[in-house]
Structure formats: structure tokens, C-alpha cells
């Protein structure tokens, strides 16, 4: 019987376990154990329920364009619990010049695709709009080297597009500094669009046209851009464990070190215990994986140490709906750094996902910290609550007392894909080729979103299954 150990019970580790369970159910002789260091599974995914409120500590939804998360929900039998965003309030706002300004219709990420809404939006100055339109004329980049998001946007669309859109919207998703984050590893579609069409605006228009032409041929997607689970993303975690009865899940089992060589690995738990396996999937955050790899694969560990993490925090507030002073007519707003506020973004959760707050209440979630304001994410709960309430008062005019306020610290939780990230990951994977039976999964490598992590977990499980099958054949 071949044995597999998965280290880390975040969504990547759980996706790997689910795939291995499928293989066991199909009759392959495998044993699998998953060791999770903390007392609960799910890693960054953590849902808390309180008096009818569904509160997400980390991620609150995932993108449907990458199919792995929806596929995973289907596989777990919870597809009918998926819910999309509220179609009645799709506005998103940018806080600029002391006001909340609606994002103009037709702005696809940061690229204008409709002339009139773009021409009349107060979001950009006239000079800013003219500079953005220069994208139609500017030649494409001469070489294929990676660059920062800031350098890319500045080059194609100018400083104002960077400050008001790319930094809060795009770098914001990654809690990153646009001056250091890699465009190639975070928004490869922009790079591909420039390569193929030269101009981002022309490229987006061509893609829109192709989509319209194909719309008649394909059934319309029943999924909105962002999807979530009605009772919170934690349901994915609980169901993955429930549906993998042959995997031995152990929480409170922190791995201290690993040792061994090709196909003969030992995993040691903190507080004692040695477990042997032919294959190990390391699904821990990059900095922990680097520490575990150090004694066995030091060169790989050195590469992985270069992948940085920053701290963020979320502050979720519930209010009585009656007398609430804001219409919450949208999904929320983002705040450019130049506005000098504490919060980076605020999701109007009860408008975006109405089932997340009980009847008669509204709920907001503010996001703080990241590479640009990491000091704020380290502050204590009391200070953070005060800063958030101050911002909400000045930005949205909310003076009401919340019925609850929950602060969650996500210390060194957000991985940073810096310029040339993909080169580092290619080097890391090459280094690891010399250690058959060791596999990596998770957000540190080729995508941070939940669908990316699920895919990464699936792929690592596929590689393990193949590796063990080859090993069995060689032994015969």
C-alpha cells in the first residue's frame, strides 16, 4: 500500500485530498493522511455565523471565469448552494477627491470599452482621459521581459489610470504594491492583449465583439463574475472533509520537519511522531514550505524564501437597516492610496450578497493593510475599529453605532507575486525535480485565487498518483 501525506489543510491541501479520495474510491490501493497545524481546516477560508449574519474572515467569493472552484463545488455536490452577486446593485465606487464616484459603465478592469460613459465620467480629469486614449497609438513593448503593474499601466495609460484604477482595483486584489508586483503573474491577459492587439483598448473591443458573436452560439452562463456559497465558503471546507472518508484528516498536527530521499520520506510532527510516506504534498504557505524544505532541498528553499507575504485585516460591521444613513446602492468602493485613508476597500456585503445579513440588518466589510499600508493591519482591534468608523463616517456619512464589529487579523497571509515571480517558480520547480515524491500546492506558485489553489491542489494530486503508479510499475 503506497502512502501519501498532505501537509496543510487549506483549500489547496483539501482539493488534493479530494482528488486522492476519488482515486481510492476507484479502487487504487492508496493511503492518505492530511496534517493540519491549526485546530481547524480551511486555512485562509474561515466562515463565522452569528445571529443570522454570515461573516467571512478571509475570502468572501471567487471568480467564476476560472472554472476549478465551480467544478469543485459540483464534485462535492453543493453546486446548488452557489449564489452570485446581486444583479440589482452592480455599481462599484472609487473614493476620489472626497467623494464616491461610480465606476463608468464599460470599464473592463481599467480599460474603457464604451466611449460615452468614459468621456463623461468625473472619475478622470480631461488630461487623464486623453492620456488613457494614447493607448490607441502607443507601440507595443519591444521585448517579453516581465515588468511591474505600475510600469505597465504608466506606459500604456498614464499616471492617473494607475493611481485611480490600477492601484486600488488591480493591486488591491493582491494587497500589493503596484511598483513591485508582476504584471505577467497577476494579470497575464493584459500582457497577452498588448502582444496580440498592441493597444489594450482595441484588444478589449475585439474580445467584446468576439464574445457578442459567440453569445448566440453558446448558452448564457448562469454564473455571475463573482460567486460564493450561500452559507459561506466554509461549506466547501466541511464538505470536502465529509466527502473524503478514506483520507485521515488530523488537525492540531503541526509538521516540524521532513527528511528522506526519493520516494521514502519521513514527516515529523511537533511534539513527537514520525510518519512515513512515498509521496508528500506540501500545501503550506510559501514561507513555511521553505522552512520545511531547507534541510532536504536547500536550493529550492532559498528560491521560495524570496516569495514575500504581507499582513492584511478585515473589519466587518453590522447595522440595523432602519434609519441607516446610506443607500448601499452597489457592491462597495475602493480607496486610492493618495486619499490617505485607513481602509483600502469596503464591500457592502448585504447589497452584494443579500443573504449574508438577516432581515432588517445591513453588513459592511472593510479591508485594511497590504503592502501599501501594512502598519495598519498590525494595529490592535480597538484602534482598527476606531480608524474604520472614522473613515466610514467621513466617506459614507455613517454615524450610527454598529450592532457588532468584528476584526480579523490576517498576519503575513497575502502572498506577493513580485516582478519575475514566474521565473523564480520555474527555477523552484526545476530544483524540486531532483527530489522525486515531493510536490507543492497552494497560493505561493501560479495563482492566489481560490480556483487557482484548487487547481494547484488537483494538479499536485494528479502528479502524485502518476508518480506512485510509475513507481509501482518500476518495482514490478
Which residues lie near ligand FAD (CB under 6 A)? 7-13, 35-38, 43-45, 58-62, 254-255, 283-285, 288, 312, 410, 413-414, 442-443, 448-450, 453
Contact between 164 and 123 (Cβ < 8 Å): yes
Residue with smaller CB distance to ligand FAD, 158 or 442: 442
Strand 82-84: give its sheet, edge to edge: 62-63, 226-229, 82-84
Which CB, 148 or 460, lies closer to ligand FAD? 460
Taking the complex as a whole, the smallest distance from the CB of residue 301 to ligand FAD amounts, in Å, to: 14
In angstroms, give the least distance from the CB of 312 to ligand FAD: 5
Shortest separation between residue 326's beta carbon and ligand FAD, angstroms = 23
CB closer to ligand FAD, 132 vs 280: 280
Instruction: For residues 79 and 66, give the distance between their C-alpha atoms in angstroms, rounded to a whole number.
Output: 15
Nearer residue to ligand FAD within complex by CB, 62 or 417: 62
174 phi/psi in degrees, rounded to 5: -95, 5
The distance of closest approach from Cβ of residue 129 to ligand FAD in the complex, given in angstroms and rounded to an integer, is 31
Kindly state the smallest distance separating residue 450's Cβ from ligand FAD, in Å: 4
Q: How far is the CB of 21 from ligand FAD (least distance, A)?
A: 17
Q: How far is the CB of 334 from ligand FAD (least distance, A)?
A: 14
Among 233, 283, 249, 414, which residue's Cα sits nearest to residue 12?
A: 283
State which residue, 152 or 408, has the beta carbon closest to ligand FAD: 408
Task: Kindly state the smallest distance separating residue 169's Cβ from ligand FAD, in Å.
Answer: 14
Q: Phi/psi at 119 (nearest 5 deg)?
A: -65, -35
In this structure, how many other beta carbons lie within 10 angstroms of the beta carbon of residue 198? 17
How far apart CA 313 and CA 473 sit, in angstroms, is 49
Residue among 96 and 349 whose Cβ is closer to ligand FAD: 349
Rounded to a whole number of angstroms, the minimum distance from the CB of residue 311 to ligand FAD is 9
Closer of 163 and 446 to ligand FAD (Cβ)? 446
**Cell, residue 191:** 500582457
Tell me the closest approach of the beta carbon of residue 35 to ligand FAD, in angstroms. 5
466: left (phi over 0), alpha (psi -120 to 50) or beta: alpha
Compare residues 37 and 158 and give the one whose CB is closer to ligand FAD: 37
How far apart, in whole angstroms, are the C-alpha atoms of residue 373 and residue 335? 12
According to DSSP, residue 166 is labeled I
Which residue's CB is nearer to ligand FAD, number 201 or number 441? 441
- Angle at which helix 286-293 crosses helix 298-305, to 10 degrees, equals 160
Q: Which is nearer to ligand FAD, 66 or 208 (CB)?
A: 66
Q: Phi and psi at residue 253, in whole multiples of 5°?
A: -120, 80
Question: Among 263, 251, 377, which Cα is nearest to 310's?
Answer: 377
Q: Are 157 and 131 in contact (CB under 8 A)?
A: yes
| C-alpha to C-alpha distance for 342 and 221, rounded to whole angstroms | 37
Residue 363: strand, helix, or coil: strand
Query: What is the chain's length?
Result: 476
Distance CA 221, CA 456 (A): 24
The DSSP secondary structure of 253-279, one letter per residue, reads --EEEEEEETTEEEEEETTS-EEEESE
Kindly tell me which of 121 and 342 has the beta carbon lying closer to ligand FAD: 342
Instruction: Return d(Cα 440, Cα 419) in angstroms, integer.
Output: 21
CB of 74 to ligand FAD, least distance (A): 17
Question: What backbone phi and psi angles, to 5 degrees, belong to 370?
Answer: 80, 180
Cα–Cα distance for residue pair 14/43, rounded to 1 Å: 10
CB of 317 to ligand FAD, least distance (A): 16
Between 13 and 104, CB nearer to ligand FAD = 13
Task: Specify whether the CB–CB gap between 42 and 234 falls below 8 A.
Answer: yes
Give the position of cell 521553505. 290
Amino acid at each position: 500500500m503506497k502512502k501519501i501525506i498532505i501537509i496543510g489543510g487549506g483549500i489547496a491541501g483539501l482539493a488534493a485530498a479530494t482528488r486522492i479520495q476519488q482515486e481510492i474510491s476507484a479502487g487504487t490501493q492508496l493511503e492518505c493522511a492530511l496534517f493540519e497545524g491549526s485546530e481547524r481546516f480551511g486555512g485562509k477560508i474561515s466562515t463565522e455565523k452569528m445571529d443570522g449574519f454570515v461573516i467571512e474572515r478571509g475570502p468572501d467569493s471567487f471568480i467564476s471565469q476560472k472554472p476549478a472552484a465551480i467544478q469543485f463545488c459540483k464534485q462535492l455536490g453543493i453546486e446548488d448552494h452557489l449564489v452570485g452577486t446581486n444583479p440589482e446593485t452592480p455599481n462599484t465606487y472609487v473614493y476620489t477627491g472626497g467623494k464616491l464616484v461610480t465606476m463608468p459603465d464599460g470599464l473592463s478592469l481599467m480599460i474603457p470599452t464604451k466611449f460615452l460613459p468614459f468621456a463623461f465620467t468625473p472619475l478622470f480629469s480631461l488630461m487623464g482621459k486623453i492620456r488613457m486614449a494614447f493607448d490607441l497609438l502607443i507601440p507595443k513593448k519591444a521585448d517579453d521581459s516581465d515588468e511591474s503593474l505600475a510600469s505597465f499601466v504608466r506606459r500604456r495609460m498614464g499616471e492617473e489610470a494607475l493611481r485611480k484604477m490600477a492601484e486600488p482595483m488591480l493591486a488591491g486584489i493582491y494587497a500589493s504594491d503596484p511598483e513591485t508586483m508582476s504584471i505577467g503573474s497577476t494579470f497575464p491577459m493584459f500582457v497577452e492583449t498588448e502582444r496580440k492587439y498592441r493597444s489594450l483598448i482595441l484588444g478589449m473591443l475585439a474580445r467584446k465583439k468576439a464574445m457578442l458573436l459567440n453569445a448566440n452560439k453558446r448558452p448564457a452562463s448562469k454564473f455571475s463574475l463573482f460567486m460564493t456559497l450561500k452559507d459561506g465558503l466554509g461549506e466547501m471546507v466541511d464538505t470536502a472533509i465529509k466527502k473524503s472518508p478514506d483520507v485521515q484528516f488530523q488537525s492540531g498536527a503541526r509538521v516540524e520537519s521532513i527528511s528522506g530521499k526519493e520516494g521514502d520520506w519521513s514527516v515529523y510532527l511537533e511534539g513527537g511522531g514520525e510518519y512515513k510516506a512515498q509521496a508528500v504534498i506540501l500545501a503550506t504557505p510559501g514561507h513555511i514550505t521553505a522552512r520545511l524544505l531547507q534541510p532536504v532541498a536547500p536550493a529550492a528553499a532559498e528560491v521560495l524564501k524570496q516569495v514575500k507575504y504581507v499582513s492584511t485585516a478585515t473589519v466587518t460591521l453590522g447595522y440595523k437597516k432602519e434609519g441607516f444613513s446610506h443607500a448601499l446602492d452597489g457592491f462597495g468602493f475602493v480607496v486610492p492610496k493618495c486619499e490617505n485613508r485607513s481602509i483600502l476597500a469596503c464591500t457592502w456585503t448585504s447589497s452584494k450578497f443579500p443573504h449574508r445579513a438577516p432581515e432588517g440588518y445591513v453588513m459592511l466589510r472593510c479591508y485594511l493593510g497590504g503592502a501599501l499600508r501594512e502598519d495598519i493591519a498590525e494595529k490592535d482591534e480597538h484602534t482598527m475599529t476606531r480608524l474604520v468608523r472614522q473613515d466610514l463616517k467621513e466617506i459614507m456619512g455613517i454615524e450610527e453605532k454598529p450592532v457588532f464589529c468584528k476584526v480579523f487579523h490576517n498576519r503575513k497571509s497575502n502572498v506577493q507575486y513580485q516582478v519575475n515571480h514566474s521565473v523564480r517558480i520555474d527555477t523552484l520547480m526545476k530544483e524540486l525535480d531532483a527530489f522525486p515524491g515531493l510536490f507543492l500546492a497552494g497560493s505561493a506558485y501560479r495563482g492566489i485565487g481560490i480556483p487557482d489553489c484548487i487547481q494547484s491542489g488537483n494538479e499536485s494530486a494528479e502528479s502524485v498518483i502518476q508518480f506512485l503508479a510509475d513507481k509501482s510499475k518500476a518495482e514490478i
